[in-house]
Amino acid sequence: MRGNHFESVMGVLGFGESHGKVSGVVLEDVKGGVIFPLEEIQRELDKRRPGKGNYASTRQEADRIEVLSGVMDGITTGMPICLVVYNQDQRTVDYKNLQEIFRPGHADYSWYRKFKIWDWRGGGRASGRETIARVAAGAVVKEMLSGIKIESYPVQIGKVGVENISDNFPNPISWPDPGTYDDVLYELSKAQEANDSLGGIVELRILGVPAGLGDPVFGKLDAKLAGALISIGGVKGIEFGGGFSLAGMRGSEANDQMGAGGFLSNNCGGILGGISTGEEILIHLAVKPTSSIESEQKTIDKDRNEHLIEIKGRHDTCILMRILPVTTAMVRLVLADCLSYQKLQEEKKLDLNDYREALDKIDEDILLSLRRREEISRLIGKWKNRHGKAVTDGDREQKLMDVLKEKAGAWQLDAEMVNDIWRIIIKQSKEIQENS
Ligand SMILES: Cc1cc2nc3c(=O)[nH]c(=O)nc-3n(C[C@H](O)[C@H](O)[C@H](O)COP(=O)(O)O)c2cc1C
C-alpha cells in the first residue's frame, strides 16, 4: 500500500500508529554530506504538539525527535534517514469501549470497510499523530526555500471570522485579529461547555514564489498543493485566490488584468494554468469540527446494531491551530519538489551531479514500477491458477507488444530497445505466474 508515501524532492514514508510505540518517518534521497537540521525539525514539531491553550487536547507529549539512521555526527550520510518520536502519553484505556463501534466523523467505518480491521486505539494511522512525519519532512526541505515565506493562520473559527489581520499578535491559538480575539475565545468556550467542537478556515499566504513553477495538464502546481493539503486529516475544502466566489463573478471582474507594473489584481491566487505567476499564492482551507466529542451521538457496530456513544478521552475543541504547521510543511514539500524540478529544466544552472541525481531518481522509479508489476503478476498467477487458465496467452502478449511499439514510436523511443526490455519483463512475469 503506497498511501504512506509522499513523493517530493525526497521520498517521504510515514509510519507508526497513534497508540503504537513510535510515530516516525523515513526520508530517502537526502543528499549526503550536509548538515542535518535536527534543531529546526524539533522547533517545527514543537509547534504541532497538543496541550497548548485551554481548548487543546491535554495529551502531553514531549515529541522529542530521535535519529535512528542516515546521520553521522550531525551530517547526512546519503542513506535513508529514519526519525522517530516515542508515543508517551497515549491512554488506550480511553478507547477500550470503542473496540466494536464506529466513532462518527472518524475513519473507523471506512477503514473497516476497506481493511476489515481498524485501529480502535485512537484511529491508528488516521490520527493526527501521523502528521509528525509531514512536519519533520517539511523542516528538512525548509532551507531549499530561501526567499519564500509561508504564512498560515486561522481566519475563521466556528462562526467568528477575522476583521483585521495583525502581524504581531502572539496568542496560544494563533488568532491574528486582536479585535475579535475575545469573541473567538467565547465561541470556543461555549463549544467546550456544550461538549462539542468547532471547525474553521485556515488562510495560507505564500510569498516569494518565482513565476514558472508547476507543469501543464497533470502536473499543475494548484493540483499538487491541493493534493498535499487535502491529505491532512480534517481538511475538507480548498480554494485558490477568489476560489468559490469566482463562480458568481463576471469575467470582467474575475480576470486579473495586467499593466506595465504587473497584475492589477490576484483573483487567480498566484497560479494560472497550473503554473505560478510570481504573485502571492493565496489558499483557504476548510477544516471540519473535531470529530471526537463527548456529547451523545448515534452510531452502529460491525453487526449494524445501533448504539449511543460519548467519546471520552482528550481532544482539541478545535484542531485548526494544530493543523497550521502541518499545512506549512506540506506546502514546503510541494514547493521544494517543484523548485528542484524547475532547476533541472533550466539547464544552465546544472552540473553533472544534478543530472546524475535526476537519473538516479528515475532509475528508482523504474525499480519501484517493476516491483509493483511483479506484485500484480503474482496476483494474476494466483487468479489463473484458481480459474484453471494457462499462464501463456500468445494473443495478449502480441497485443501488448504492438501497443508498446506504437507508444515507443509516438514518444520517439528506440523501438528495438523497448522490444528487448519487454521480452525480458514478459519472460520474468510468466515465471512469477507459473510459481504463484
Ligand atoms: C494535527 C491533527 C490533529 C488532529 N487531532 C484530532 C483530535 O484530537 N480529535 C479528532 O477527532 N480528530 C483529530 N484530527 C482529525 C482526524 O485525524 C480526522 O478527522 C480523521 O482522520 C478523519 O479524516 P477526515 O476528517 O479527513 O475525513 C486531527 C488532525 C490533525 C491533522
Give per-10-residue mean pLDDT for the chain (436 aa): 85 92 94 92 85 58 89 95 87 69 93 88 87 95 92 98 94 96 97 96 97 94 98 98 97 97 96 97 98 94 92 84 96 94 72 80 86 93 93 92 90 91 94 92
Buried b (16+ CB within 10 A) or exposed e, 110-136: ebeeeeeebbbbbbbbbbbbbbbbbbb
Tell how far the Cα of 108 is from the centroid of ligand 1, in angstroms.
12
299, 317, 349 — which closes off a domain? 349
Owner of C-alpha cell 514543537: 46
* Same domain as 60, residue 100: yes
Q: What is the CA radius of gyration of the chain?
A: 25
Q: Whose CA is nearest to atom 16 of ligand 1?
A: 233
User: What is the number of the ligand 1 atom nearest to the C-alpha of 126?
Assistant: 21
Q: Which of 103, 106, 292 to mutate to test the pocket of ligand 1 (most atoms within 8 A of CB)?
A: 106
Q: Whose CA is nearest to atom 30 of ligand 1?
A: 128
Question: What's the structural domain count of the chain?
Answer: 2
CA distance 224 to 214: 8
Ligand 1 neighbours by CB, cut-off 6 Å: 48, 57, 106-107, 123, 126-128, 131, 232-234, 288, 290-292, 315-316, 319, 322-323, 326
Q: Whose CA is nearest to atom 23 of ligand 1?
A: 233
* Same domain as 292, residue 417: no
Q: What is the pLDDT of residue 200?
A: 98
* Same domain as 221, residue 296: yes
Q: What angle do CA 68, 73, 79 make, to 5 degrees?
A: 50
Look at residues 70, 77, 65 and name the one whose alpha carbon lies nearest to residue 34: 77
* Same domain as 357, residue 325: no
Tell how far the Cα of 130 is from the centroid of ligand 1, in angstroms.
10
Q: Whose CA is nearest to atom 4 of ligand 1?
A: 128
CA distance 419 to 404: 8
Q: Which long-range contacts (CB under 8 A, 24 or more apart) does 243-246 make?
A: 243/269, 243/284
Domain that holds residue 230: 5-349
* Same domain as 257, residue 374: no
* Same domain as 263, residue 222: yes
* Same domain as 407, residue 324: no
Asked whether the beta carbons of 14 and 25 are under 8 A apart, the reply is yes
Asked whether the beta carbons of 150 and 206 are under 8 A apart, the reply is yes
Residue 30, judged by CB atoms within 10 A of its CB (0-12, 13-18, 19+), counts as buried
Neighbours of 367 (CB within 10 A): 10
User: What is the number of the ligand 1 atom nearest to the C-alpha of 127?
Assistant: 17
Q: What is the pLDDT of residue 89?
A: 66
101: Cα within 13 Å, side-chain hemisphere: 17
Q: What are the CA-CA distances from residue 193 to residues 34, 128, 196, 292, 293 (Å)?
A: 50, 23, 7, 14, 11
SS3 83: strand
304, 322, 349 — which closes off a domain? 349
Task: Kindly report the backbone phi and psi dihedral angles of residue 3, in degrees, each rounded to the nearest multiple of 5, phi listed first.
Answer: -65, -15
* Same domain as 151, residue 78: yes
* Same domain as 342, residue 246: yes
SS3 319: coil
Tell how far the Cα of 366 is from the centroid of ligand 1, in angstroms.
35
Residue 411's CATH number: 1.20.59.10
Tell how far the Cα of 244 is from the centroid of ligand 1, in angstroms.
24
Residue 291's CATH number: 3.60.150.10
Buried b (16+ CB within 10 A) or exposed e, 263-279: beebbbbbbbebbbbeb
Tell how far the Cα of 232 is from the centroid of ligand 1, in angstroms.
8
User: What is the number of the ligand 1 atom nearest to the C-alpha of 235?
Assistant: 26
Q: Which of 316, 318, 326, 328 to mutate to test the pocket of ligand 1 (most atoms within 8 A of CB)?
A: 316
Q: Give the cell for residue 279.
A: 504573485
Q: What is the pLDDT of residue 417?
A: 93
* Same domain as 46, residue 9: yes
